[in-house]
Homo-oligomer: A and B are copies of this chain.
Amino acid sequence: MAKSTKENRKEEILEAGLEVFAEKGYYNATTAQVAEKAAISQPYVFRFFKTKEELFIAALDRAFERILQTFKNVEAKPDQLVGKMIEAYEELSESHPNEIAVQVIGISVTEKPIQDIAKKGLSQIRSYTLERFKTAGIKDSEREASTFLARGMLCNISYFLDLPELIDEKRK
């Protein structure tokens, strides 16, 4: 059995945070709920994250890091690039649904430090995608990249709101 080091305690709390934030949103999530899910006391959360905001930022940052990394790991010939990236996104949204939800939530949180992370995340995904599309010689890559991002965002929203019709163009 794995020893409970300081680092994996922090990891447990972050994971618990992701779950609670994904379900309740930022403002309705309480640090007591996070603690309960991590099976520790409420004050102990603050030994690892100075504030609730800091915990949310860690969660949001992880969500954006993972999706970016997922795209970076995609290997494909130019004409299959877009398809492969969509595939990668779909796998991610099944394997890490809480991180998708947290991305949606992060967008309308008004606390400046959180909003800044959301902006950075979206901005990075957009520029990485654009560069990748350009390199692959995709025509009208600016437009394709922003459409790609837009459709991805709408998928997230569709998932978060449980409104499948938004994107369900009868899966081929």
- A residues contacting B by CB (< 8 A) are 23-25, 27-28, 104-105, 107-110, 115, 118-119, 122-123, 126, 142-143, 146-147, 149-151, 153-154, 157, 160-161, 163, 165-167, 169-170
The answer on a CB contact under 8 Å between B126 and A165 is yes
CB distance from A166 to the nearest CB of B (A): 6
| Contact between chains at A161 and B25 (CB < 8 Å) | no
Count of chain copies: 2
Known contacts A104-B107, A108-B160, A146 near B151 by CB under 8 Å: yes
**Are the C-beta atoms of B107 and A160 separated by less than 8 Å?**
yes
Q: How far is the CA of A126 from the CA of B161 in the complex (A)?
A: 14
Given contacts A25-B109, A151-B146, contact A122 B169 (CB under 8 A): no
**A149 engages B154 (CB within 8 Å):** yes
**Chain B residue at smallest Cβ distance from A127:** B165
CB-defined A-B contacts under 8 Å, sample of 19: A27-B27, A104-B107, A104-B108, A107-B107, A107-B108, A107-B157, A107-B161, A108-B108, A119-B161, A119-B163, A122-B166, A123-B163, A126-B165, A126-B166, A146-B151, A149-B154, A149-B166, A153-B154, A153-B157
CB–CB B153/A147 < 8 A: no
Residues in B whose Cβ lies below 8 Å from that of A115: 161
A20 CA to B142 CA, complexed, in Å: 35
Among candidates B28, B108, B110, B154, residue contacting A150 with C-beta atoms closer than 8 Å:
B154
Instruction: Give the distance in Å from the alpha carbon of A129 to the alpha carbon of B122 in the complex.
Output: 27
Closest 5 CB pairs of A and B: A150-B154, A27-B27, A150-B150, A142-B169, A25-B110
Complex Cα gap A166–B151 (Å): 13
| A31 → B minimal CB distance (Å) | 16
